Structure 1
Amino acid sequence: MSQTRSRSLTLHLTLWFALASVFVLFLLGLLIGRSVEQHFEEQDIEVLAGKMELAKHVLEKALTTPSGETLAKQLDEALTGHHGLVIAVVGPNRQRLDAHVGLVLPTELLSDRLATGGGRPIKWVADDGLPWRGISATLTTRGQAGSSYTVVVATEISHHEHFMGAFRQTLWVFMLLATLAMGLLGWFVVRRGLAPLQTIKRQAAAITANRLHTRLPVDAIPLELGDLANTLNDMLSRLEESFQRLSDFSSDLAHELRTPVSNLLTQTQVTLSRARTADEYRDILASNAEEFERLSRMIADMLFLAKAENNQLIPHPEPLELADEVAELLEFYGVLAEEKEIHLSVIGHGTVSGDRLMLRRAISNLLSNALRYTPVGGTVTVRIETQGDEEVKLTVENTGSCIAAEHLPRLFDRFYRTDSARQRTTEGSGLGLAITRSILIAHGGDVSVRSAEGITRFTLSLPVGGQL
């Protein structure tokens, strides 16, 4: 299977820099070339216009004499000292009265539009390969019934063309060398500009699972890369937190499973150490069954949490009156409350759309937790409050010792207990509150806890519509 090779960012930026330089230099070359050529054209026009006025004056004087030789002679005298400059006169009916060196004039130069001065100079190449530029004008004489004559003045511009050819060649060579130089300069600038990325790469490569606390130095990175560094640092913070939670969870899970497995193994080894009666075997098997039930509940809870974390926990909503659900749960826990002389009560009501079994499990976890840590003679109260048309809050509060503030943020973590000494005296596995939070999140709600002044409150926030 072929692997697509990614393009180099340095090469990519260098090419764009070089292309931009070529484009700018090309436009600059065209502008300079056009400006120089226009300058030469304006010089030629100035010379031609002057000779045109002279030719008109000579023609007007020459036409007063019948001799054609007088016209040719006077035109030759007008051109004395001007090499490469010619004058041609075309009489009525396109009859050539005079033309120098046998120059063939283009028909465009003799058109009425150009002859009246309405167009730009005409540039053409003669039969001998020499370039010319010329202008024409119409002269109407007052004598001879007002005959019209076309006067053409042209100059040979080979020296201009040679200069422009050499100039263009020099200009294009300069542009080529300048493009190469700009490309090399662009590559150098890009390499220097991307050097901080190499620094980030080296520092990021040095971060391992044991060094997730390392952060990229934002102060030493250019401002344009500051957001990238901050984003990477935030990612590292999340990874560090997740990795720490995963490490703690693995350790807690191993610890939680080791205890019942160790108990089963020890009890089994002791049982097999000597022969026992049927009643003794029955008691031992009953004890083992309790440990297996504990393991089964723990595994089921872990599977439930795993499904919740992978968004596979799908509630089946139905309208629920929370007061009725809580009343049934309080009736279930009534016997335990009577033994500890704990007063149970429910205040308020509210209707939500949710999964009955899931929500009963979440509320049951809070009630079980409250009864476990409420002292003899205490109270457990469930308050249901409707917050407008959007949210219902269910609060389970119990009297007793408060939970230290440092424990509150982690109460809903898996296997977390505020008192490690109690984990051997209670039946809880440390997963109840984590399961409660997963159920609330699946319903589009949340759970929070407060503990102060001898009262601990767990509050479930549920949207009225369920938002499933």
Structure 2
Amino acid sequence: MSSSRAEPRSISTQLVLLFTLSAALLLSCSLGILYWVVVRHAFEEDNIVLADKVDALENALQQGGLDALSPEIHETHGSEYAFLVRVLDSSGATIKQTPGMETLLPANVFPPSASREIAAPIEYQKAGHVFALTTRGPVANGQPFTLQVGQNRSSDRRFEKELRTLLALVLGLGVIASALIAVTVARRGLRPLAEMRRSLERVQPGHLSERIEPARWPRELQPLAVSFDAMLGRLEDSFTRLSQFSADLAHELRTPIGNMIGEAQVALTRERNADEYRSVIESTAAECERLSGIIDNLLFLARADSAEQQIQRSQFNGRAALEKITSFYQPLAEERRITITCEGEAEIFADPILFNRAVGNLIDNALRFTPDGGSIRISIRNAENATEISITDTGSGIAPEHLPRVFDRFYRADPSRSSAGTGLGLALVRSIVDLHGGRAMIQSGLGGGTTVTLTFPNQTAAETKQLRLS
């Protein structure tokens, strides 16, 4: 079975349809009310005219007798009789009537009249004509009579039909006009989106500094423009970092590979003894180990960024863990007369292996930049919903302009790269702390040493955060 993807909905089409339907509904209601008011008014006016006519007939009958009714009975409106009048005696026999009335309006179609009050008009249709029929029973000269009056309302029905046609035409033209207006308004209203699209199309890898500038857009689009500008800023920063990362990676890989190639080429220039070949092989193995370390660190960072790195947290004694890590570096520190001290007591909720790796990287970094005879102080304490570990050295410090980027991959404050290391140590530390939901901070100044602080959430805070994320 093949399935076709639904066509995307057009905002412009939806706006036009919504506006047109709203206008059609509003026009329909307005014209419907107008029609009802006009027809209702005409109906009430006809009833008043009919009642007045019956009153006039009754007065004429009472004052002038049957002869006085003749002008009223034969009154015409154009080529038609406006009213058809019949006079019946007490026995129901017809005394006078409008010519042709017997054919159009037989006596038995009129409503009965049991008193002198006018009967409520009823509608009657015949031969394409519409009549309103009523009956009254007046008494003239002591003799009871019955007046049957039919009002010809055919012209009213024609007027109503013409009015309906006119209003339908107005409605149709109004809907068409509304649709045209809606199309114009929608195109004009969505024009800023087209301009925004053109602005975004100008964004290229080499022109990531392009910005949409929220101030020039309508109020409704300004939040979108702000979001786009923020996204472009992040993309520009990421692209810059990626470019720098690529250059740094190439530099880091080129050095050991160049060393291996150079040593191999030198070794092959002439015959050498076993010790010389052994020296070349040992140097090559050392460079390979360095390359392997770089690759391992990069793989760890990649897994951490993609959330593939699994961590197994547990509660353990932080002071004991720090002293164990410190003991590994103690021989090197003693050789250089560097003092390493541990202070404080606190429990740590973290992955022990990753915790050891992060703290070990920081101690290794501190040893590398602390002069002989210096000191490294490691402290641990309980903070609010977390545990803090601080590592302070008495090294040369870091210039303020380098501090924002010291946790970036391959970034080193020494641009000549004459210092040891690959520039991945602090990046690894931050990735490990981020995996635990903590923070890594650094404070330093030239000649004032460096303090790196790691914050690990306690078990309650970590579990609460995990529940929120899930």
Task: Trace 1:237-276 onto structure 2 (pairs within 5 A).
Answer: 237-276=233-272
1:53 aligned onto 2:55: yes
1:354 aligned onto 2:350: yes
Q: What does the per-residue CA deviation read over 1:153-175, in whole Å, with 9 as the maximum and x for residues that have no partner?
A: 43111112222222222222232
Give the TM-score normalised by the residue count of structure 2: 0.87
Q: What does the per-residue CA deviation read over 1:173-231, in whole Å, with 9 as the maximum and x for residues that have no partner?
A: 23222322222222122212222222111121111000000111333322222122111
2:129 maps to 130
1:459 aligned onto 2:447: no
Q: What does the per-residue CA deviation read over 1:369-428, in whole Å, with 9 as the maximum and x for residues that have no partner?
A: 11211122222111111124x11111111123221111111111000011133x3341x2
2:433 maps to 440
Q: Is the 8 A contact 2:73 2:97 kept in 1?
A: no
2:151 maps to 155
Distance 2:8 2:176 in 1: 25
Q: Is the 8 A contact 1:109 1:115 kept in 2?
A: no
Distance 2:276 2:153 in 1: 127
CA RMSD in angstroms comes to 3.1
Distance 1:385 1:113 in 2: 109
Seen in structure 2, the aligned counterparts of structure 1 residues 282 and 95 have a Cα distance that, compared at 3 Å, is: farther
Deviates more, 1:228-237 or 1:110-119: 110-119
Give the TM-score normalised by the residue count of structure 1: 0.87
1:392 maps to 387
Q: Is the 8 A contact 2:123 2:133 kept in 1?
A: yes
Q: Is the 8 A contact 1:114 1:136 kept in 2?
A: no
> Among residues 397, 401, 404, which one is paired with 2:399 in the alignment?
404
Distance 1:190 1:136 in 2: 61
Amino acid at match of 1:309: D
The alignment-based identity, stated in percent, is 34
2:408 maps to 413
Q: Is the 8 A contact 1:380 1:396 kept in 2?
A: yes
Distance 1:93 1:325 in 2: 127
Give secondary structure in 1 for the equivalent of 2:309.
coil
Distance 2:327 2:117 in 1: 116
Amino acid at match of 1:416: Y
2:84 maps to 86
Distance 2:246 2:33 in 1: 73
> Among residues 23, 33, 36, which one is paired with 1:34 in the alignment?
36
Q: Is the 8 A contact 2:62 2:140 kept in 1?
A: yes
Distance 2:452 2:238 in 1: 25
Seen in structure 2, the aligned counterparts of structure 1 residues 108 and 415 have a Cα distance that, compared at 3 Å, is: farther
Amino acid at match of 1:398: D
Task: Trace 1:300-379 onto structure 2 (pairs within 5 A).
Answer: 300-379=296-375
Q: What does the per-residue CA deviation read over 1:256-301, in whole Å, with 9 as the maximum and x for residues that have no partner?
A: 1011111111111111111111121112111111111101110000
Give secondary structure in 1 for the equivalent of 2:456.
strand
1:21, distance to aligned residue in structure 2 (A)? 2.0
Distance 2:6 2:84 in 1: 69
Seen in structure 2, the aligned counterparts of structure 1 residues 94 and 253 have a Cα distance that, compared at 3 Å, is: farther
Give secondary structure in 1 for the equivalent of 2:261.
helix
The answer for unaligned runs of 5 or more in structure 1 is 63-69
Distance 1:278 1:264 in 2: 18
1:191 maps to 187
**Count, aligned residues:** 452
Seen in structure 2, the aligned counterparts of structure 1 residues 330 and 97 have a Cα distance that, compared at 3 Å, is: farther
Give secondary structure in 2 for the equivalent of 1:315.
coil
